[in-house]
Structures are given as structure tokens and as C-alpha cells.
Amino acid sequence: MKLGMIAMSGLRAHNEELTRLGLTLPGFIERNKTIASLPSLGLLTLAGLTPKNIDVDYVEIEDICDLDSLPGAYDAVAISSFSAQIKEAYVLADRFRSEGVTVILGGLHVTARHEEALQHADIVVIGEGEPVWPELLRDLIDGRPQRIYDSRGTPFNLGSSPMPRFELLDVDRYNRLTVQTQRGCPFNCEFCAASIRLSPIYRVKPVDRVIAEIRRIKEIWPKPFIEFADDNTFVNRKHSKRLLRALIPENVRWFTETDISVARDDELLSLMRDSGCAQVLVGLESPTVTGLRGVEQKSDWKAKQFDSYLSAIDRIQSHGISVNGCFVLGLDGTGVESFEQVRDFVRESGLYEVQITIQTAFPGTPLYDRLQREGRLLDETAWELCTLFDVNFRPDRMTVEELEKNFVWLAKQLYSEQSSQNRKRAFYRKLHESMRQTQAHTGGAS
């Protein structure tokens, strides 16, 4: 059997002005270049669980305009899905099916809207792929596949993770590769559309498996930059410290997503630095406590962290680890004043890097369900707007146009050459200062 694993690749935005800006603003260009080329770790992982007698191809499709030059001769294709590109994925799926190819759809969007996906697929997978993939392939080979495989209810044990088939990649296309060290998150942010929507349980991958994946990558790319495709990496501190100690001799540079509480653990921060951490991405979400209220739904955890934001950023960056602070615009309770507030907070905080996105109601999230109940979704199935840069709902304290217009204004403020340079200079100035102080302190003590 010949199986094509098809990833939709690239970044997307519908707002024309933003797309134009994305092509011209230095800060945007830099970030886009950095991340735009990441492969689909989900598909590479499932490829790793596929028996050797099945011939597997990994293909990335950026543009579905050219359907005539589709890769061909597959018996089946497995297509991955995010909401932003699902309509393109459906066009692709319909085309493959019209040629008699069996289409399997899975991933985050399909998990949230499997009935919709069934109209374009022979088989859909709901939830994590690993628990059902071997059975699905067996059924497929036997010619008796089910229409739906649902893995919810059996959270995958990451100790049994297969080795992702990184060797299927043309590594020259990428400037970093992803490795996943955990799934899930102890928090439940209303807008979160990441892996807690596949399975909510927080789990870690055993240290030796993470290291094995990094070593496999090093076989095809001796000095890689690794992005951990995690939701919140350092929640389990004991495990994290073991992982970081094991990473030190691997001599790689890496980036990950975490929460602000890492600032409270100096040992953790030192281990992060010593093991090659270049940057952490932290969801600060709002520069005001009003914006943060209600975001985290279990205990309003994010609102409770607000008072420590500035000192925490300072502490993390004083270890030589830059913070990429993420802000969500259009949160309930925030109005047009929030754009200047973000700009001012970024300046005051000394953040090295900043990421702004528009609050997005992704299907399957509590946010989507609430806004639907409140009649605030602009179009309930405009999935192409689920880019994090387009507006798909009516904000409560500004108009849609005000959100769009001010977002562009803020992007210009934050991503100009000058602002990006200023942030970097401030970061290094402060870092040198704190290193000098530490040296003076230890010198004085000895």
C-alpha cells in the first residue's frame, strides 16, 4: 500500500492590510521566516507508527491552486487539519476521492467538527492519532475500515511514543524542527485551541525518548535548532529539571512555550539557560487585569499572576533567556485603549520579543460556544478566519473595524525596524548590567 501524508503548510491571514504589512515590517518578516517552515509533527509521528510494509510519503502543500500537479499514485492519503486551512484541505480531499484514493482526515479541526469532515473523507479520526492509528491501518488493509475512529477517553501514554520519521523530510527546507515533550495543560484558557482539545490530561514524554528524538534529528542535521511543540513545558518541575540536565550535553539551541511561573524557580531558569534555551514564549494575554479576568477558567490563574508580570519578565531575561510575550487583542472587557496599553507595557517591561494576535473563536473551544450562545460570532463556519490575525466575532467594547484598524496600528508600532532594534538593545543592556552586578556581588563575597 502507498500512503501519502499530506500537511497544509505556511502561514495565513485574510486581512489584506496585515498580509501586506507581514511582507514589509521587519519584525513580522523575521518571525514569519522563523516559523513558517515547520513540518507537521503529527503526521511524522503517525508515519513512525506505520508498519514498514506500507510505503509512506510526506508532502507539504502550500497552495491548492495547482491541483493538477498533485503528488499521485496513492492508495490512501492522511491529511492533517487546522481550522484556518480546513476548507483547502476539503478541496484536496474531494479531489483525491474523485480519483479513487481513500481519504483519512484527522487533527484539531476534524476533532472539533467531525460531522463536517465526514462529508469529505472516507475515514475521520477524532482526538489524538496514536491510540487508533494501528487499528485503522489494519482495517484499511483488510478492506473494512470504519468511518470514525475516536480516541477520546484513552489519553495516549507518551512513554509509548513512536519515533517521528524525521528522515522523510527534506531538511534543507527548514530552519528548525519540532520535538514534543508533553501534551495538555493544567490550565483551561477559554480561547485555547491546542492539544487540550484533543485530550485534556497533562502528560510528559519520558526524558530518554525526548533525547532519542533529538539525537535522531542530529543524524540528519548535526546542529539543529529545536522548537518544542508543547503547550506548557515546565509544569512538572521535577521532570523538567531531569529533562534539562539531559539536554545540556546534547548541545542544541531550543525554544518553547511555557507559563510565567517559571520565573519563580531560579534553578529551573539556570538549567534552561545551560541547556541552550534561546527564548520562551509566554502567554501574557493582556497588560491589564481587566483583560485577564475570566481567561483561565479553573481558578482565574492568569488574572492572579498579573501583579508579578514585570518582575517575572525581568527575572527570566536576567538569566539570558529572552521572553516572547504574547498578547491577545479583543478580549472581553477591553476597548480601544488596550492597543496603547500593550505598546506601553511592551516598552516598560523590556520584553525582547512580542507577539500580538486577535482573540479567535476556534471551533471546539469554550470561547466559541459562549460567543455562539451570545450571538456574537460573525459567521459560524468562516473557518478561514481562524488565523489569529482575523476577526471572527463581535468584541464587547469596540467594533470589529476598531479591532482590525487598531491591530494594524499596533503591529506597525511593535514591528518597525526601530522598535525591534530598541527591544533587542534594551535586553542586552540589561543583561550585561545584571551580569556585572552578579560578578561584583560574587567578587565582593570571595
Among 58, 74, 82, 301, binds ligand B12 (CB under 6 A): 82
CB of 51 to ligand B12, least distance (A): 15
Residue at 381: amino acid letter: T
Listed residue (353, 292, 356, 296) closest to 326, CA to CA: 356
204 phi and psi angles, rounded to 5 deg: -115, 155
- Could you say whether residue 166 binds ligand B12 (CB under 6 A)? no
- Could you say whether residue 361 binds ligand B12 (CB under 6 A)? no
- Could you say whether residue 10 binds ligand B12 (CB under 6 A)? yes
- 105 or 316: CB nearest ligand B12: 105
Among 4, 27, 40, 179, binds ligand B12 (CB under 6 A): 40
If phi > 0 it is left, if psi is from -120 to 50 it is alpha, else beta; for residue 161 that is beta
β pairing state of 182-183 and 2-8: unpaired
- Could you say whether residue 107 binds ligand B12 (CB under 6 A)? yes
Q: How far apart are CA 316 and CA 88, in angstroms?
A: 40
CA distances to 132, 201, 290 from 141, rounded to whole Å, are 14, 32, 55
Among 18, 101, 117, 125, binds ligand B12 (CB under 6 A): 125
- 81 or 318: CB nearest ligand B12: 81
- Could you say whether residue 194 binds ligand B12 (CB under 6 A)? yes
- Could you say whether residue 35 binds ligand B12 (CB under 6 A)? yes
Contacts of 357 (CB under 8 A, 6+ apart): 326, 327, 328, 329, 388, 389
- Could you say whether residue 328 binds ligand B12 (CB under 6 A)? no
- 175 or 416: CB nearest ligand B12: 175
- Could you say whether residue 231 binds ligand B12 (CB under 6 A)? yes
Listed residue (19, 33, 10) closest to 408, CA to CA: 19
- Could you say whether residue 96 binds ligand B12 (CB under 6 A)? no
Among 178, 355, 406, 420, binds ligand B12 (CB under 6 A): 178
- Could you say whether residue 103 binds ligand B12 (CB under 6 A)? no
- Could you say whether residue 280 binds ligand B12 (CB under 6 A)? no
Side-chain-side CA neighbours of residue 443 (13 Å): 6
- Could you say whether residue 388 binds ligand B12 (CB under 6 A)? yes
* Cell (9 digits) for 343: 505598546
Residue at 234: amino acid letter: F
Binding mask 403-422 for ligand B12 (x = CB under 6 A): --------------------
- Could you say whether residue 195 binds ligand B12 (CB under 6 A)? yes
CB of 395 to ligand B12, least distance (A): 18
CA 365 to chain centre: 16
- Could you say whether residue 41 binds ligand B12 (CB under 6 A)? yes
CB of 108 to ligand B12, least distance (A): 4
- 109 or 315: CB nearest ligand B12: 109
Interface with ligand B12: number of residues (CB under 6 A):
47
Among 116, 128, 190, 404, binds ligand B12 (CB under 6 A): 128
CB of 418 to ligand B12, least distance (A): 25
CB of 173 to ligand B12, least distance (A): 12
- Could you say whether residue 353 binds ligand B12 (CB under 6 A)? no
Contact region for ligand B12 (CB under 6 A) — 14-22, 106-114, 167-175, 269-277?
106-114
- Could you say whether residue 326 binds ligand B12 (CB under 6 A)? no
- 385 or 431: CB nearest ligand B12: 385
Q: Where do contacts with ligand B12 occur on this chain (CB under 6 A)?
A: 7-13, 35, 38, 40-43, 45-46, 78-80, 82-85, 104-109, 125, 128-130, 178, 180, 193-195, 198, 229-231, 257, 362, 386-389
